[in-house]
Chains A and B, each alone.
Chain A
Amino acid sequence: MAADGAAVPLVVVRGVVNRFGTQVVHDGLDMAVERGEIFGIVGGSGSGKSVLLRTILGLQRPRAGSVAIEGRELTQLHGGELRAVKRTYGVTFQHGALISSLTVAENVELPLREACALGAVPLAGLAALKIGLVGLPGDAGPKYPAQLSGGMVKRAALARALALDPQLLFLDEPTSGLDPIAAAAFDELLLYLRRTLSLTVVMVTHDLDSIYRTCDRVGVIVDGRMISDTLAAIVDNPHPWIQEYFHGARGRAARRQ
């Protein structure tokens, strides 16, 4: 660990521009995520939350700007180096994106299988460990994704994201489509994992309850740029969309809790 590693934020996005045809999605967007925090990305539909996430993950090259994870410039990397960076973080997608022809246990084993040469017994053991870690029952392992409920799919996807013990986790709408009780349980799971594994979490979410419960800082995408601040400060930001978001009927209800 370099001594200056702690000073530089874990994820740094600088001046990212994304454009599709004439439609400008990001126009010089900046973002920084510190080690150990849970950072929430919010924004209206079509504001480019998913595009931003795809850009950070290296699935999409921005027209301009840079993305750095642990000080390594993603937009400059190719092939093997990029793959090495991709193994340092875990990702869950909005609909789980579990491989439907593999069981839950095989899904969790998949990244391990690709990354290292392990026998069947340690692979099964490590998969069972991660499945237990995210609070799935032991009999979930041999099931196929289609046999799981929505909440279990989200947990299984999280187990797969945690397969390579990443320090950094990206979650795309982790609580969407869950009932309030399951969503609250997922929030608690996230806080528990952050506490026990000292994770850094970047999550795209629409769930106000989840934001209030888990996020340390929030970045709001408005007009192609990001306004980020601590949760306590961002609710007082004068931008009309942010005011509407946090002080509309739903925002007030979530805040009261």
Chain B
Amino acid sequence: MYLESRTIDGGRELRASGAWRVSHADELARAVAEADIGSAPVTLDASGLEALDLTGAYFLHQLELRLAAAGVASTWRGARPETLAFTAGLIDAAPAGHHARPPAEPLGLLGRWTVQQGGAVREALEFLGRIQFVLASALVRPRRFRFQSVVRHVYETGIQAIPIVALIAFLISVIVAYIGAEELRQFGGEVYVVDLVTISVLRELGVLLTAIIVAGRSGSAFTAEIGVMRLNEEVDALRAMGVNVVEVLVLPRILGLMIALPLLAVIADAMGLAGGAVLAWLVLDIPFSQFMARMQEAIATTTFWAGLLKAPVFAFVIAMIGTFRGLQVRESSRELGRLTTVAVVESIFMVLFVDAVFAVIYWETDF
């Protein structure tokens, strides 16, 4: 019991006892909330207090405020505790205001959202323009390409990604071949599994899977790296030194990824075909030689190029979104996490969107 109510000499008394410390804050809060306020004048007694820290004094002050609010006169037996007087002084000097946010209005929210989206589109276009400008000026003065930096990004986004890209391409192609074999067996056309695997891997799956893995792996890394540099004011430092941030941070990442992604796509193609060939041999008893022969008939050279042509475009989209979102990071670590998520989601969406555009173009041009 931290607070007890009793009657002494016909007068009512509230006696605080025990250790009024932060370690019992929840019990103190309950004791004060449940205190018997009554209406008759009351005497407060702090003689039983073993300890009183600021948190305890806060709740003691809450008791005084409750009594005052109920219009109950209260006096202290003996002196009012010093810590309480100190705390009450602080609380009265800076009243705890509840900073309620203005209620959200649907129309206002829609308007704000529209303006924000419009601004974001403008910023993105401006960013694209700056990339093109820097690229153009680098073509005139090749020193501005930052070859070392580009090589580093080729290594980090390309070479280090080979194992995961190879594994996923192999497995997906095995899955496609297996499902295809099940269906085609009903028509006795098992050999068309070769057509199915080679065309789908070379035209679509190889490059698309690679792009999605790279968006998750490197797009997020770009946003996080540049975002942390922004939080550490490194980006501002570079700007203050007169260094062009797009030239140093953005262009090498874009160029590096535009070199790495097509190479990864070639590896994914090869592993995909290997996966198809292994499954055809194990499940359908199609030997490698027959697989190769059938593949030669099924595809033209354009089948390979139709897939590979998309890789640099995907790379540009992924790298641009990653760096753009990284440069938008401001103020807090939560912002960094949010924008990294945004970057990955947007780049995967844009990769699929661009892929659809390519499909339409190929269809129209009979490529």
Interface residues of A (CB under 8 A from B): 87, 100-101, 112, 115-119, 122, 124-126, 128-133, 137-138, 141-142, 144-146, 162, 164-165, 196-197
Complex Cα–Cα for A104 and B186 (A): 68
A122 touches B59 (CB 8 A): yes
Residues of A within 8 A of B94 (CB): 128, 131-132, 137-138
Which residue of B87, B98, B332 contacts A100 across the interface (Cβ within 8 Å)?
B332
B357 near A: Cβ within 8 Å? no
Identity of the chain A residue whose Cβ is nearest the Cβ of B52 in the assembled complex: A165
Q: How large is the interface on B (under 10, 10 to 19, 20 to 34, 35 or more residues)?
A: 20 to 34
Complex Cα–Cα for A136 and B24 (A): 27
B95 near A: Cβ within 8 Å? yes
Interface of A is mostly: helix
Which residue of B54, B59, B97 contacts A165 across the interface (Cβ within 8 Å)?
B54
Residues of B within 8 A of A118 (CB): 25-26, 29
B99 touches A126 (CB 8 A): no
Bitwise, B43-67 to A at CB < 8 A (1) or not (0) is 0000000000111001100100000
A117 touches B86 (CB 8 A): no
Residues of B within 8 A of A162 (CB): 54
Task: Answer whether A126 and B333 are a contact pair too, CB < 8 Å, given A116-B22, A116-B26, A165-B21.
Answer: no
Complex Cα–Cα for A117 and B26 (A): 6
Identity of the chain B residue whose Cβ is nearest the Cβ of A140 in the assembled complex: B94
Residues of B within 8 A of A132 (CB): 90-91, 93-94
B138 → chain A closest CB, angstroms: 34
Complex Cα–Cα for A170 and B153 (A): 43
Identity of the chain A residue whose Cβ is nearest the Cβ of B87 in the assembled complex: A129
Complex Cα–Cα for A165 and B53 (A): 7
Residues of A within 8 A of B7 (CB): none
Residues of B within 8 A of A130 (CB): 54
A79 → chain B closest CB, angstroms: 18
Q: Provide 23 A-B residue pairs closer than 8 Å at the C-beta atoms, listed in order of the A residue.
A: A100-B334, A101-B332, A101-B333, A101-B335, A115-B23, A116-B25, A119-B29, A122-B29, A122-B58, A122-B62, A124-B96, A125-B58, A126-B25, A128-B95, A128-B97, A129-B87, A129-B90, A145-B332, A146-B331, A164-B55, A165-B21, A165-B54, A197-B54
Complex Cα–Cα for A141 and B96 (A): 9
6 shortest interchain CB distances as A-B pairs: A101-B334, A100-B332, A128-B96, A146-B331, A165-B53, A132-B94
Which residue of B22, B24, B93, B331 contacts A164 across the interface (Cβ within 8 Å)?
B22
B98 touches A126 (CB 8 A): no
Cβ < 8 Å to A, chain B residues 78-110:
86-87, 90-91, 93-99
Residues of B within 8 A of A122 (CB): 25, 29, 58-59, 62
Identity of the chain B residue whose Cβ is nearest the Cβ of A165 in the assembled complex: B53
Complex Cα–Cα for A118 and B24 (A): 10
A144 touches B332 (CB 8 A): yes
Task: Answer whether A126 and B332 are a contact pair too, CB < 8 Å, given A117-B26, A118-B26, A119-B29.
Answer: no
Complex Cα–Cα for A86 and B55 (A): 18
A257 → chain B closest CB, angstroms: 30
- For the A-B complex with A132-B90, A138-B97, A165-B22 known, give 5 more contacts whose Cβ atoms are closer than 8 Å: A118-B29, A129-B96, A131-B94, A132-B91, A132-B94
A112 touches B25 (CB 8 A): yes
Complex Cα–Cα for A100 and B95 (A): 25
Residues of A within 8 A of B334 (CB): 100-101
Residues of B within 8 A of A145 (CB): 332
B332 touches A129 (CB 8 A): no
Task: Answer whether A133 and B96 are a contact pair too, CB < 8 Å, given A115-B23, A125-B62.
Answer: no
A72 → chain B closest CB, angstroms: 16
B160 → chain A closest CB, angstroms: 28
Complex Cα–Cα for A162 and B334 (A): 25
Task: Answer whether A128 and B91 are a contact pair too, CB < 8 Å, given A118-B29, A197-B54.
Answer: yes
A125 touches B53 (CB 8 A): no
Identity of the chain B residue whose Cβ is nearest the Cβ of A141 in the assembled complex: B99
Complex Cα–Cα for A138 and B95 (A): 8
Taking each of B24, B25, B93, B335, which has the highest tally of chain A beta carbons within 10 Å of its own beta carbon? B25
Residues of A within 8 A of B24 (CB): 116
Which residue of A133, A144, A165 contacts B90 across the interface (Cβ within 8 Å)?
A133
Complex Cα–Cα for A115 and B332 (A): 25
Identity of the chain A residue whose Cβ is nearest the Cβ of B59 in the assembled complex: A122
Residues of A within 8 A of B90 (CB): 129, 132-133
Taking each of B21, B26, B59, which has the highest tally of chain A beta carbons within 10 Å of its own beta carbon? B26
A117 → chain B closest CB, angstroms: 5
Residues of A within 8 A of B99 (CB): 141-142
Which residue of B22, B25, B96, B332 contacts A146 across the interface (Cβ within 8 Å)?
B332
Taking each of A87, A119, A165, which has the highest tally of chain B beta carbons within 10 Å of its own beta carbon? A165
B23 → chain A closest CB, angstroms: 7
Taking each of A112, A137, A162, A196, which has the highest tally of chain B beta carbons within 10 Å of its own beta carbon? A196
Identity of the chain B residue whose Cβ is nearest the Cβ of A196 in the assembled complex: B86
Residues of A within 8 A of B23 (CB): 87, 115-116
Residues of B within 8 A of A165 (CB): 21-22, 53-55
A28 → chain B closest CB, angstroms: 36
A124 touches B98 (CB 8 A): yes
A126 touches B55 (CB 8 A): yes
